[in-house]
């Protein structure tokens, strides 16, 4: 392409082409136009025409100390028109850097043949390139945010250590900076002035590889998040000593170690193996939970049995007898509490545990409700205890009524109450139902006795006062001292100890 330079009779350099034609000449004194005459463009319009050629990558406009190509249009626009009119010369732009263009398209996974279209001033090829650049920059920004926010975590622990995270951020930053610079080359003319060589462009692949790894890791974490979140909750719901908890923690450590190893996490079957192991842990938990739930909860038939037991006549009898001060009422309170604490739930099905690790009906948490025996067995045990407690209280009443200390009190009972006590002593069975008159008679007959409650914890503390182990004589002395202090000032013949 010819170089157009300038000279002028007035001391200015006017543009001339190599053929000798003046680009701008005077037709009349003081009036200048573009040559040849048929164009008749004033110098200002000539500058506009040259600017269009520069923008299209056809020419490079040279001024003293500076040059304008397609990538310097902003600077050209801000240059005074007088300086542009007095340009030095026009230069041919550089030849197309086809290897670099092909490397750019390949870097962004675009057909490398599109580079040839760019050299043919194909705007669609450039637009397609810029769309790919923009999308990749957006992905790089998101990946940087994931690293900065510490979002790449699994089971509550970061996948990347500080060193590896810093290395990834550096590679992502370099790729982002390169692509942001590339966004300025949004026309074929600008791409013609692209300076970097193919080797430099291919070096940016490290950043895009880092991007692909971060995206793949994030995708894996998102996919596994429901499973790992489920298992984390399940681990908290089971007792600390349960074998499954140890298995889950061991699996967590193994897989987190593998995730932190780029070679292992990129293995073809890693994702499948990890998912399979996590699903197996989940299914094992469901099986364990279903079994523990069955043990800890009453079924439909057991629930009916419990309801019947809470309305049982024996429990009603014990409730009435509890108004007699002499009896250890704490035993009844404990039995009633344990009976009431037996929970019923027979609606849980395995499919419901696929969504959440707790029963949606009763919220059973094995870690807080350690079942030593199946609830149905505990119900049967409580029924046996009910029989035993009634028998024990009956024996306590009989033993105290037959005590010589109490015999004199029987003569003081009202005539309508005395036969009730005598019949009880003869038959040795509590009347059913227990009438208010019988309860009143028992309270009156035993009113001369003093109840002294000894708590098992207090007794233990008294026996240990002075250290352990102890000799038999030391133990006897401590016991006598303790009980003597409690009985001080009381008639020991009328004192009755109740151990609770």
Q: Model confidence over 330-352: pLDDT tens digits? A: 999 999 999 998 999 999 999 99
Query: What is the structure's pLDDT at 257?
Result: 85
Q: Which residue has the higher pLDDT, 481 or 31?
A: 481
pLDDT for 202-231, tens place per residue?
999 999 999 999 998 898 888 888 999 999
> What is the distance between the alpha carbons of residues 146 and 153, in angstroms, rounded to a whole number?
10
Q: What CA–CA distances, in Å, run from 360 to 240, 282, 364, 368?
A: 22, 17, 9, 16
Domain ranges of the chain: 4-91, 98-213, 450-500
Q: Compute the average pLDDT of residues 256-284.
A: 86
Instruction: Report residue 2's pLDDT band, with 50, 70 and 90 as the boundaries.
Output: very low
Between 64 and 133, residue with greater pLDDT: 133
Higher pLDDT, 161 or 211: 211
What pLDDT does 36 receive? Answer: 56
Q: How confident is the model at residue 23 (pLDDT cuts 50, 70, 90)?
A: low
Q: Pick the closest to residue 458 from 485, 432, 428 (CA basis).
A: 485
Pick 260 or 41 by higher pLDDT: 260
* Residue 72 confidence class, pLDDT cut points 50, 70, 90: confident
Can you give the pLDDT at residue 130?
96
The chain-wide mean pLDDT, for the chain, equals 83
Tell me, what's the pLDDT at 245? Answer: 95
pLDDT at position 34, please? 59
pLDDT at res. 383: 92
- Report the DSSP pairing between strands 15-16 and 24-28: unpaired
Quick check: 488 pLDDT over 90? no
Q: Look at the block and give the residue holding tokens 């040059």.
A: 67
From first CA to last CA, the distance across the chain in angstroms is 113
**363: cis peptide before it, omega within 30°?**
no
| Parallel/antiparallel/unpaired status of strands 31-34 and 24-28 | antiparallel
What percent of the chain shows pLDDT beyond 70?
86
Any idea what the Cα angle at residue 141 is, between residues 136 and 146, rounded to 5°? 125
User: CA angle at residue 98 from 97 to 103, to 5 degrees?
Assistant: 105
Could you give the CA distance from residue 104 to residue 115 in angstroms, rounded to a whole number?
8
The band of 412, judged by pLDDT with boundaries at 50, 70 and 90, is low
> Across residues 242-254, what is the average pLDDT?
93
For residue 64, pLDDT over 90 is answered with no
* Strand ranges (E), 156-253: 157-158
Cα separation, 417 vs 410, in Å, equals: 9
The least confident of 85-89, 257-261, 306-310, 456-460 is 85-89
Q: What is the pLDDT of residue 5?
A: 39
Residue 3 pLDDT > 50: no
Lowest mean pLDDT among 70-74, 100-104, 158-162, 331-335: 70-74
Q: How confident is the model at residue 10 (pLDDT cuts 50, 70, 90)?
A: very low
Which pLDDT tens digit goes with each residue over 173-211?
999 999 999 999 998 888 887 888 889 999 999 999 999
Crossing angle, helix 205-237 and helix 270-296, to 10 degrees? 10
pLDDT confidence bin for 42, thresholds 50/70/90: confident
| pLDDT value of residue 492 | 64
How far is Cα 132 from Cα 109, in angstroms, rounded to an integer? 9
Say whether pLDDT at 32 is over 80.
Answer: no
Q: What percent of the chain has pLDDT over 90?
A: 44
pLDDT for res 500: 63
> What is the Cα–Cα distance from 29 to 318, expressed in whole angstroms?
132
State residue 27's pLDDT score: 56
Q: Categorize the per-residue pLDDT at 20 as very low, low, confident or very high, splitting at 50, 70 and 90.
A: very low
pTM over cut 0.85: no
Given 3-state DSSP classes, what are the helix, strand and coil percentages for the chain, each rounded to the nearest 5?
A: 60, 10, 30
Beta bridge partners of 15: 6
Higher pLDDT, 117 or 72: 117
Per-residue confidence at 498, pLDDT binned at 50, 70, 90?
Answer: low
Q: What is the mean pLDDT of residues 446-470?
A: 75
pLDDT the model gives residue 235: 93
Check pLDDT > 90 for residue 94. Answer: no
Question: Which region, left, alpha or beta, applies to residue 250 given φ > 0 means left and ψ of -120 to 50 means alpha?
Answer: alpha
Which whole number is the average pLDDT over 359-382?
A: 90
Spatial contact of 292 and 371, defined as CB atoms under 8 Å apart:
yes
Token readout for 480 is 């006598």
């Amino acid at each position: 392409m010819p170089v157009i330079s300038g000279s002028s009779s007035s001391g200015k350099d006017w543009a001339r082409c190599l053929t000798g034609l003046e680009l701008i000449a005077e037709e009349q004194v003081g009036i200048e136009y573009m040559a040849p005459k048929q164009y008749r463009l004033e110098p200002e319009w000539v500058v506009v025409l040259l600017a269009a050629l520069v923008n299209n990558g056809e020419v490079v406009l040279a001024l003293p100390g500076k040059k304008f190509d397609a990538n310097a249009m902003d600077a050209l626009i801000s240059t005074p028109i007088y300086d542009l009119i007095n340009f030095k010369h026009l230069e041919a732009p550089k030849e197309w850097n086809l290897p670099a263009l092909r490397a750019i398209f390949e870097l962004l996974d675009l057909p490398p043949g599109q580079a040839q279209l760019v050299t043919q001033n194909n705007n669609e090829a450039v637009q397609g390139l810029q769309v790919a650049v923009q999308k990749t920059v957006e992905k790089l920004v998101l990946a940087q945010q994931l690293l900065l926010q510490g979002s790449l975590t699994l089971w509550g622990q970061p996948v990347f250590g500080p060193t590896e995270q810093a290395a990834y951020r550096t590679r992502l930053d370099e790729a982002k900076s390169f692509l942001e610079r590339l966004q300025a080359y949004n026309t074929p003319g600008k791409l013609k002035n692209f300076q970097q060589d193919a080797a430099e462009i291919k070096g940016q692949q490290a950043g895009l590889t880092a991007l692909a790894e971060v995206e793949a890791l994030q995708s894996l974490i998102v996919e596994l998040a429901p499973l790992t979140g489920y298992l984390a909750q399940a681990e908290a719901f089971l007792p600390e000593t349960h074998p499954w908890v140890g298995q889950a923690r061991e699996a967590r450590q193994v897989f987190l170690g593998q995730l932190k190893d780029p070679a292992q996490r990129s293995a073809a079957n890693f994702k499948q193996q990890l998912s399979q192991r996590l699903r197996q842990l989940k299914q094992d938990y469901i099986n364990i939970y279903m079994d523990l739930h069955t043990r800890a909860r009453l079924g439909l038939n057991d629930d009916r049995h419990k309801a019947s037991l809470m309305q049982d006549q024996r429990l009603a009898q014990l409730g009435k007898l509890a108004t007699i001060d002499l009896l250890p009422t704490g035993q009844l309170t404990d039995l009633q509490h344990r009976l009431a604490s037996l929970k019923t739930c027979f609606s849980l099905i395995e499919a419901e545990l696929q969504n959440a690790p707790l029963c949606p009906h009763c919220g059973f948490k094995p870690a807080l409700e350690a079942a030593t025996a199946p609830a149905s067995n505990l119900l049967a045990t409580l029924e046996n205890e009910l029989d035993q407690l009634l028998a024990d209280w009956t024996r306590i009443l009989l033993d105290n009524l037959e005590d010589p200390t109490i015999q004199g009190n029987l003569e003081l009972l009202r005539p309508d109450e005395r036969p009730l006590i005598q019949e009880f002593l003869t038959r040795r069975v509590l009347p059913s139902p227990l009438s208010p008159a019988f309860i009143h008679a028992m309270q009156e007959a035993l009113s001369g006795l003093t109840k002294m409650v000894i708590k098992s914890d207090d007794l233990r503390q008294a026996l240990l006062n002075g250290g352990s182990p102890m000799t038999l004589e030391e133990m006897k002395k401590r016991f006598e001292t303790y009980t003597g202090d409690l009985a001080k000032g009381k008639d020991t013949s009328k004192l009755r100890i109740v151990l609770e």
